[in-house]
Amino acid sequence: MAAAESVEAKANQSVEADERSYRMQRIQNKTADFLYSIFRYFLVTGISFIIIYPLLMKISVAVKDPQDIYNPTIYMLPVHYTLENIRMAMQILDYFPMLGNTLLFVTVTTLLTAASCSLAGYGFARFAFPGSNLLFAFVIMTILIPSSTLMVPMYLHFRNFDVIGIIGGITGKDGINLLNTYWPSVIMSATAIGLKAGLFIYIFRQFFKGLPKEIEEAALIDGAGGIRTFASIMLPNAVSPILTVVLFSFVWQYNDTFYTSLFMSESSLIPLKVASLPAQANQLIPTLLGMGGANVKADPNQVAMIVDTGILLAILPLIVLYLLVQRYFVESVERTGIIG
């Protein structure tokens, strides 16, 4: 009897001990998790701060009154607020007409790129024609070869643009000069050879390859032709790659300086104007302040302020766009199957 009791007591004890050690373990785990999550917050906040710091600085500068420039006690938050900088930067940049131009240009090229790249991506994903693999290797080649290699011939090509002598035959001249018009970029995006178009073709191809073949076969049996199948079956299913391509194409086109300065160096587009902003600000600020005359030099600090404000104005549309669509940004890339 006593022996049985002691056995029971021992068992109880060991259960208790187990429970205690289990509790200890849990507390340990919990503290570890807690410490880790604090550490993670530190990391994420730190990196986020590095990323948005320049943006915060620009916003702070944009609303700062010039009389605060030489006040050393000011950090980020100005004492005197003003909208003068924004007004001046807008005037120097000729903001709204330029923004309109840029948005029109970027939208047109983006839509053309998405259209031509989705067609090509679908063609490569679903049809086996002679040489299709070789041609797809060429697509990869267009991604890999630096565009500077093609710069000079492209420039000359668009300077005397001609399609196999047709235009020359009609007008009697050696082609037409398309430089400083939107045509070079429009033609390039319509033919899926523009800015990073190879990458977009690749994205579309990967996505269409991942779609089940059965839906197309069903459409084919129901009597839809190839183009009909593409337009009414495949495209509605391809929302996420379309979104990805449109987003990236829009952003890259908006920020591109390479092709715009090559083909349209005199056009009023945001990337070009922003790049030349410091020089212009230097020239125009004295006049805008009403201190005309060739010898008056603007305060370099104020020029820097205006330049920062101008940059902020230039990227503002993108930030607004990004805030609206950033939710889709990650999701769409996840769903394109680019990782497959």
Partner 1 sequence: MKTAKLTLNRKRSLLGIAFILPWLIGFIFLFATPLVQSVRFSFSKLVIAPSGYDLEFLAWDNFRNALFVDANFNRVLTSSVTDMLLNVPMILFFSLFSATLLNQKYRGRVLARAIFFLPVILASNAVAAAESSGLINLMGDASVVDEMGQSTSGYNVMSMVMLLSEAGLPMSFIDYIVNAILRIYDIITSSGVQILIFLAALQSVPGTMYEVAKMEGATAYESFWKITFPMVSPLILTNVIYTIIDSFSGSAVTDLIYTTAFKTQNFGLSSAMSWLYSLLVGVILVIIGVVLSKRVHYN
Region binding partner 1 by CB under 8 A among candidate stretches 7-15, 18-26, 66-74, 111-119: 111-119
Smallest distance from partner 1 to CB 263, Å: 12
Residue 4 beta carbon to partner 1: minimum distance, rounded to whole angstroms: 36
Binding range to partner 1, per CB under 8 A, among 14-22, 80-88, 114-122, 286-294? 114-122
CB of 8 to partner 1, least distance (A): 32
Pick from 95, 122, 207, 263 the residue near partner 1 by CB under 8 A: 122
Contacts of partner 1 in 290-309 (CB under 8 A): 300-301, 303-304, 307-308
5-44 footprint of partner 1 as x/- string (CB under 8 A): --------------------------------x--xx-xx
Q: Which of 1, 50, 134, 170 binds partner 1 (CB under 8 A)?
A: 50
Q: C-beta of 237: minimal distance to partner 1 in Å?
A: 16
- Closer residue to partner 1 (CB): 4 or 169: 169
**334 sits near partner 1 (criterion: CB under 8 A):** yes
Binding residues among 253-292 for partner 1 as defined by CB under 8 A:
254-255, 257-258, 262, 270-272, 274-275, 277-279, 282
Residue with structure tokens 């320049």?
Answer: 54
Residues 198-227 that bind partner 1 (CB under 8 A): 201, 226-227
Task: Using the minimum distance from each CB to partner 1, give the nearer residue, 7 or 166.
Answer: 166
Distance CA 253, CA 126 (A): 29
